[in-house]
Structure 1
């Protein structure tokens, strides 16, 4: 099982979109660790949304679809409609 997920950083006031076929809680822990890359700037990333898919391809396609929206309001509407 693979997941598409959205993380939110209060410090940066930004969302991060990703997908993973590994343990999602471990993936989030890695985002919150000190490393190079966008999520390494801070360690307060919180899971605010997720969807599960049978394949990596499906999860990746969903990530690309959401990124193409380029609309914070649309993303926040999606998040608000779900309950994690």
Structure 2
């Protein structure tokens, strides 16, 4: 199955970062909060949303920062994704 975002929506995949404590203990993903850095998987076409022209700024492959509880979580073939509006993206990581 393939997800294709519509309008100003962006499909994101959370970036799994392994964290290690100062003493060398590796923290599991179950003990951490939802990551705020995600990778852009797909981008909608933009267009007119709520009467305003929306130009898509992000592109697939970009790493972005999103609000902790932004978007809608979707699970496809055991992979978790988030679908957010472009306006919910706070920054692009360079």
TM over 0.5: no
TM class by shorter-chain length?
under 0.3
Please give the TM-score of this superposition, normalised by the length of structure 1: 0.28
Give 1 or 2: higher strand fraction. Answer: 2
Give 1 or 2: higher helix fraction. Answer: 1
Larger of the two Rg values belongs to structure: 2
